[in-house]
């Protein structure tokens, strides 16, 4: 992340991610960049995987037109790679929802778009919306990180915040939808780990109107952050605290007022709490946050250099991107690292 | 002779070589199985209930017990129980009474569910080295929190929490009334609850003054008979529970035989000495769900909204919808009692044939509350046939917040599940008020045993959680992904929302 919103092209993060190839298996990788669509900054950029453009696109077109205006749409440019089999056609729409169609909502545009995402993805008719925010785009596929980067020519994109992920899948090998980052509206998530509380988290989030469609635990993180931050209005650090709360032992030792709100947070969001080993980095247009599980069973390293903030599983990746990095730190378990861009 | 005498259920025999004629068996058997005749001890096996008191007391292991020494001609439909029930009713023209829980041979769903553990892709946790949290809060929760950051950076909690019970382990002791069980038994469990950071129910028999020192660990019950209920009683409890129904006998009230209503019981229950304490089937002020909500509010109002109020229902076919109705009232927790729940006395036809198993009831209640988006706002306590820590873990994974144990706590005090509680002659001093029998139960030793049981299950729960890579109990709650069904039929797995082994 560049806190001054100075953009970086994708070559740096491609290089950084390639340092950690032994953490992957060549079956999935992905990138997300904020600030990539300045010309359409007021539109929701919907990235869609079509199984078959001819068969599946009409349905998506019709659905979107029911709920707003498609300002522009096109195939996402891709470049064949020898070892990457293009099983989907990535497409992008720049879409403006009609807020008058959700009159009861306080955030009608977001609500329309998130409902459309859930609907299209649940219908499973050869179309999967995997990116749906404004001025942000997810680029992912099955393959090694460099192949996926070259498939999209990631160096052609300029963003001020980038997340990237290299996958070693166990649940859903080969499926492009299962690659990270996961995105809903403004929020994107990359995740190393396995959420042992997934069954609880999924049932909670689904009882509040979300639908999990990607067959993998990471997507609940995106939805939980959306719920806590957008719908419940919690500050990001409090949302993270709800997801990875302090142990009761620590809460018991806190001064009274602090103890009270921490207790309230744990009680209210008990089903949102995430268990199991994880390191997660999430971002939206203004923020980037990294945090681990309460016992820090997965690594997380933070680097800083002037306006740049780096969060990674390995220091090597940070140094590949920023050889002159000024500080390297390892946050304590559960302690969030939050970066914000200047307004 | 028309029916004549039936085959004896048990045969007791004494090995004359081993017997030293100490007469402990004679002293200990309140059912009159043993008597002395000259230099021999004679046995009347027909009186035996298989309570094992004699066997436990015999210093020489001279007594042996055999079940069904002489059986009927075997028949798949006309079982011994079916035939004997008919002989019994042909003679008496009455309802057959029975004790303890459901005795029919229904499949036990718990035993067809298996738990999960981590391998490689995520590490299992070691409770000896890492914290595993079992603390549970029973009570109303908020749907969302209003937390604001003040100018100085402090966080301000702008929504008030309603009182919750803080339980250090999700194992609580259910309601067994003074009257049904002895004061010593209640004392033992109350001490154990205090020691292990959990709670126990008073049952509908009021709160004896000897239990006042433990009142902050007691949940006081308000049942249809209103026995022992006054404002002092309500204020003493840590929480209040309205009992609508009981798993062992859904749809009917309670019955404490007059023989068990001694002076102390009479005072505590506020009923005449020696009178049968019969609580009516319905609460006569609750004829609809809104009446229940009114009673919940009335109890809260009476105790200045300081105490959580639970509502206990028997697990019946429509349990999910009923629970959803309760969740909409100001009630803090729904207690669901499955058809295996124990009892001191129930008509056998109810005990064995009415209601549904707790596993299915919890699963459907949890689902219904989730479908309505209110699951986390109310607690769910499950009871009825919880036999070990695995049952606890499975119940929580199916969607409960905590469990009540009943029979298991009695067994920890020596109960042999002989099922004759309603006769008031419990040789273990548990389900009796006869002073000489009551004093057989030492509350100090018994409380240690109950506390040990809760501690042991709590340790096992921590191990099970750790193995599943979970360090806090709330992440197991409703986490049915960590269960698999083994030899369960597909429709039941749909109700339980679990996949089958291998899937």
The number of C-alpha atoms within 13 Å of A324 and in the hemisphere containing its C-beta is 4
Interface of B with A in 354-413 (CB under 8 A): 370-373, 375-376
Q: Which of A204, A260, A275 sits opposite B470 (nearest CB)?
A: A275
ipTM of the complex: 0.91
Is B375 within 8 Å of A271 when comparing Cβ atoms? yes
Q: Which residues contact B73 (CB under 8 A, 6 or more apart)?
A: none
Q: Is the pLDDT of residue A42 over 80?
A: yes
Give B385-389's long-range contacts (Cβ < 8 A, gap of 24+).
Answer: B385/B101, B385/B102, B385/B108, B385/B110, B385/B338, B385/B340, B385/B341, B385/B357, B385/B358, B386/B358, B387/B110, B388/B457, B388/B460, B389/B456, B389/B457, B389/B458, B389/B460, B389/B461, B389/B464
What pLDDT, in 10s, does the model give residues B305-359?
A: 999 999 999 999 999 999 999 999 999 999 999 999 999 889 999 999 999 999 9
Residues of B in contact with A194 (CB under 8 A): 121-122, 469
Residues of A in contact with B132 (CB under 8 A): none
pLDDT of residue B183: 97
- For residue B117, the chain A residue with the least C-alpha distance is A196
- For residue B150, the chain A residue with the least C-alpha distance is A235
Residues of B in contact with A257 (CB under 8 A): 154-155, 157
Yes or no: say if B275 and B261 are a contact pair by the CB < 8 Å rule. yes
Residues of B in contact with A208 (CB under 8 A): 373
Q: Which of B115, B137, B155 to mutate to test the interface with A (most CBs of A within 10 A)?
A: B155
What pLDDT, in 10s, does the model give residues A96-133?
A: 999 999 888 888 999 999 999 999 999 888 999 999 99
Please indicate if any CB of chain A lies within 8 Å of the CB of B154. Answer: yes
Is A194 within 8 Å of B475 when comparing Cβ atoms? no
Q: Which of B219, B188, B250 is closest to B452 using CA atoms?
A: B188
- For residue B159, the chain A residue with the least C-alpha distance is A264
Q: What burial class does residue B502 get, using C-beta atoms within 10 Å of its C-beta: 0-12 exposed, 13-18 middle, 19+ buried?
A: exposed
**Min Cα–Cα distance to chain B from A39, Å:** 35
CATH number, span B10-94: 3.30.70.20
Most confident of A19-28, B158-167, B245-254, B353-362: B353-362
CATH number, span B168-500: 3.20.20.70
Average pLDDT over residues B196-212: 96
Mean pLDDT of chain B: 95
Rounded to an integer, what distance in angstroms lies between the CA atom of residue B59 and that of residue B31?
Answer: 20
Average pLDDT over residues B7-33: 96
Residues of B in contact with A191 (CB under 8 A): none
What pLDDT, in 10s, does the model give residues B411-465?
A: 999 999 999 998 999 999 999 999 999 999 999 999 999 999 999 999 999 999 9
Q: Which of A27, A25, A1 is closest to A13 using CA atoms?
A: A1
Distance of CA B204 to the CA centre of its chain: 14
**Min Cα–Cα distance to chain A from B126, Å:** 12
Residues of A in contact with B473 (CB under 8 A): none
Average pLDDT over residues A207-215: 84
B259 dihedral zone (left: phi>0; alpha: psi -120 to 50; beta): alpha
Residues of B in contact with A274 (CB under 8 A): 475
Q: What burial class does residue B11 get, using C-beta atoms within 10 Å of its C-beta: 0-12 exposed, 13-18 middle, 19+ buried?
A: middle
Residues of B in contact with A292 (CB under 8 A): none
Q: Which of B149, B155, B472 sits opposite A273 (nearest CB)?
A: B472
Average pLDDT over residues B217-241: 96
Give residue ranges of A with CB < 8 Å to any B CB. Answer: 170, 193-194, 196-200, 202-204, 206-209, 231-235, 238, 247-249, 257-258, 260-261, 263-265, 267-271, 273-277, 294-295, 297
Q: Which of B475, B146, B137 is closest to A238 using CA atoms?
A: B146
- Encode B112-144: b = buried (16+ Cβ within 10 Å), e = exposed: bbebbebeeebbbbebeeebbbbbbbbbbbbee
Yes or no: say if A1 and A340 are a contact pair by the CB < 8 Å rule. no
Q: Is the pLDDT of residue A171 over 90?
A: no
Yes or no: say if A189 and A183 are a contact pair by the CB < 8 Å rule. yes
pLDDT of residue B233: 97
**Min Cα–Cα distance to chain A from B146, Å:** 8
Q: Is the pLDDT of residue B180 over 80?
A: yes
Q: Which of B141, B373, B375 sits opposite A267 (nearest CB)?
A: B141
Average pLDDT over residues A229-240: 92
pLDDT of residue A222: 85
For A231, which DSSP code? I
Q: Is the peptide bond before A181 cis (omega within 30 degrees of 0)?
A: yes
Rounded to an integer, what distance in angstroms lies between the CA atom of residue A292 and that of residue A330?
Answer: 11
pLDDT of residue B256: 87
Report all structural domains of chain A as residue ranges with CATH numbers, in order of start: 8-340 (3.60.20.10)
pLDDT of residue B370: 97
Give the Cα-Cα-Cα angle B64, B65, B69 (nearest 5 degrees): 125
Q: How confident is the model at residue B46 (pLDDT cuts 50, 70, 90)?
A: very high
Tell whether pTM > 0.90. Answer: yes
More confident call, A222 vs B312: B312
B373 dihedral zone (left: phi>0; alpha: psi -120 to 50; beta): left
What pLDDT, in 10s, does the model give residues B363-396?
A: 999 999 999 999 999 999 999 999 999 999 999 9
For A153, which DSSP code? T
Please indicate if any CB of chain A lies within 8 Å of the CB of B468. Answer: yes
Residue with tokens 């081993």: B18
Rounded to an integer, what distance in angstroms lies between the CA atom of residue B349 and that of residue B357?
Answer: 16
Give the whole-number percent of chain B exceeding pLDDT 70.
Answer: 100
Question: What separation in angstroms does the CA of B367 have from each of A204, B140, B385, B413, B437?
Answer: 10, 18, 21, 36, 46
Rounded to an integer, what distance in angstroms lies between the CA atom of residue B397 and that of residue B245?
Answer: 24
Helix extents (H) in B343-481: 348-353, 358-371, 389-398, 407-412, 435-438, 443-467
Average pLDDT over residues A122-145: 94
Q: Which of B185, B241, B217, B135 is closest to B440 using CA atoms?
A: B185
Mean pLDDT of chain A: 93
Q: How confident is the model at residue B165 (pLDDT cuts 50, 70, 90)?
A: very high
Helices and strands (H and E) in chain B: how many: 15, 23
Is A277 within 8 Å of B123 when comparing Cβ atoms? yes
What pLDDT, in 10s, does the model give residues A238-264?
A: 999 999 999 999 999 999 999 999 999
What pLDDT, in 10s, does the model give residues B58-95?
A: 999 999 999 988 889 999 999 999 999 999 999 999 99
Is B481 within 8 Å of A276 when comparing Cβ atoms? no
Average pLDDT over residues B205-210: 96
Residues of A in contact with B479 (CB under 8 A): 197-200
Q: Which of A193, A206, A231 sits opposite B122 (nearest CB)?
A: A193
Distance of CA B318 to the CA centre of its chain: 21
Question: What separation in angstroms does the CA of A330 have from each of A24, A282, A322, B33?
Answer: 22, 17, 17, 74
- For residue B138, the chain A residue with the least C-alpha distance is A267
Please indicate if any CB of chain A lies within 8 Å of the CB of B142. Answer: yes
pLDDT of residue A213: 77
pLDDT of residue A170: 77
Q: What burial class does residue A108 get, using C-beta atoms within 10 Å of its C-beta: 0-12 exposed, 13-18 middle, 19+ buried?
A: middle
For chain B, what are the domain ranges? 10-94, 168-500
Region of poorest pLDDT, from A28-37, A64-73, A299-308, B120-129: B120-129
């Amino acid at each position: 992340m560049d806190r001054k919103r100075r953009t970086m092209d994708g070559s740096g993060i491609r290089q950084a991610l390639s340092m950690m190839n032994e953490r992957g298996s060549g079956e999935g990788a992905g990138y997300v960049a904020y600030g990539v669509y300045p010309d359409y900054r007021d539109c929701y950029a919907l990235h869609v995987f079509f199984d078959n453009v001819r068969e599946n696109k009409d349905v998506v077109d019709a659905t979107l037109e029911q709920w707003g205006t498609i300002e522009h749409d096109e195939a996402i440019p891709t470049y064949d790679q020898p070892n990457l089999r293009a099983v989907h056609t990535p497409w992008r729409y720049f879409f403006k929802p009609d807020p008058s169609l959700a009159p009861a909502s306080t955030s009608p545009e977001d609500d329309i778009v998130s409902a459309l995402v859930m609907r299209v993805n649940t219908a499973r008719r050869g179309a999967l919306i995997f990116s749906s925010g404004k001025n942000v785009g997810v680029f992912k596929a099955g393959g090694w990180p460099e192949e996926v980067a070259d498939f999209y020519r990631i160096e052609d994109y300029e963003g001020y915040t980038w997340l990237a992920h290299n996958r070693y899948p166990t649940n859903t090998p080969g499926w492009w939808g299962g690659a990270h980052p996961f995105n809903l509206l403004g929020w994107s998530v990359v995740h190393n780990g396995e959420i042992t509380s997934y069954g609880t988290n999924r049932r909670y989030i689904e009882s509040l109107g979300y639908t999990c469609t990607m067959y993998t635990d990471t997507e609940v993180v995106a939805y939980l952050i959306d719920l806590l931050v957008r719908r419940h209005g919690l500050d990001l650090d409090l949302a993270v605290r709800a997801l990875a709360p302090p142990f009761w032992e620590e809460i018991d030792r806190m001064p009274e007022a602090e103890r009270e709100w921490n207790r309230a947070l744990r009680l209210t969001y008990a089903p949102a709490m995430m268990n199991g080993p994880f390191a997660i980095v999430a971002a939206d247009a203004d923020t980037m946050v990294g945090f681990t599980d309460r016992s820090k069973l997965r690594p997380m390293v933070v680097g800083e250099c002037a306006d740049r903030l780096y969060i990674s599983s390995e220091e090597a990746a940070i140094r590949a991107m920023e050889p002159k990095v000024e500080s390297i730190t390892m946050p304590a378990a559960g302690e969030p690292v939050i970066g914000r861009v200047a307004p | 002779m028309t029916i004549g005498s039936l085959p004896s259920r048990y045969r007791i025999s004494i090995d004359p070589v081993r017997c030293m004629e100490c007469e402990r068996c004679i002293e200990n058997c309140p059912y009159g199985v043993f008597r002395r005749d000259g230099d021999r001890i004679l046995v009347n096996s027909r009186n035996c209930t298989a309570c094992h008191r004699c066997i436990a007391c015999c210093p020489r292991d001279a007594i042996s017990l055999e079940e069904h020494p002489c059986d009927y001609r075997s028949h798949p439909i006309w079982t011994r129980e079916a035939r004997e029930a008919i002989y019994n009713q042909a003679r008496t023209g009455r309802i057959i009474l029975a004790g303890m829980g459901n005795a029919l041979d229904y499949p036990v769903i718990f035993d067809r569910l298996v738990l999960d553990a981590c391998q490689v892709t995520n590490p299992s946790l070691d409770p000896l080295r890492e914290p595993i949290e079992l603390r549970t809060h029973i009570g109303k929760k908020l749907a969302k929190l209003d937390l604001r950051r003040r100018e100085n950076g402090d966080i301000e909690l702008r929504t008030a929490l309603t009182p919750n019970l803080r339980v250090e382990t999700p194992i609580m002791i259910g309601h067994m009334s003074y009257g049904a069980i002895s004061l010593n038994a209640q004392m033992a469990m109350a001490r154990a609850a205090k020691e292990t950071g959990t709670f126990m129910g008073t049952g509908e028999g009021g709160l004896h003054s000897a239990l006042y020192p433990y009142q902050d660990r007691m949940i006081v019950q308000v049942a249809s008979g209103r026995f022992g209920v006054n404002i002092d009683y309500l204020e003493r409890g840590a929480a209040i529970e309205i009992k609508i129904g009981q798993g062992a006998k859904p749809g009917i009230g309670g019955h404490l035989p007059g023989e068990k209503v001694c002076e102390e019981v009479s005072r505590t229950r506020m009923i005449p000495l020696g009178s049968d304490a019969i609580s009516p089937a319905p609460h006569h002020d609750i004829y609809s769900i809104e009446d229940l909500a009114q009673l919940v509010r009335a109890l809260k109002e009476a105790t200045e909204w300081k105490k959580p109020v639970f509502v206990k229902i028997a697990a019946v076919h429509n349990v999910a919808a009923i629970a959803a109705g309760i969740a909409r009232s100001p009630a803090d927790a729904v207690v669901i009692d499955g058809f295996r729940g124990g009892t001191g006395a129930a008509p056998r036809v109810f005990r064995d044939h009415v209601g549904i198993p707790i596993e299915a009831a919890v699963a459907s209640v949890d689902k219904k509350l989730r479908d309505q988006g209110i699951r986390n706002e109310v607690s769910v306590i499950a009871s009825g046939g919880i036999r070990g820590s695995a049952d606890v873990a499975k119940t929580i994974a199916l969607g409960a917040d905590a469990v009540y144990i009943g029979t298991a706590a009695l067994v920890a005090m020596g109960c042999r599940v002989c099922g004759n509680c309603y006769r008031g002659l419990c040789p273990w001093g548990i389900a009796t008020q006869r002073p000489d029998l009551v004093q057989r139960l030492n509350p100090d030793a018994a409380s240690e045993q109950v506390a040990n049981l809760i501690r042991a299950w709590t340790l096992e729960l921590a191990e099970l959680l750790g193995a599943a890579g979970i360090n806090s109990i709330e992440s197991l709650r409703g986490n049915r992904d960590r269960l698999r069904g083994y030899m369960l039929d597909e429709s039941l797995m749909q109700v339980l929302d679990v996949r089958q082994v291998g899937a």
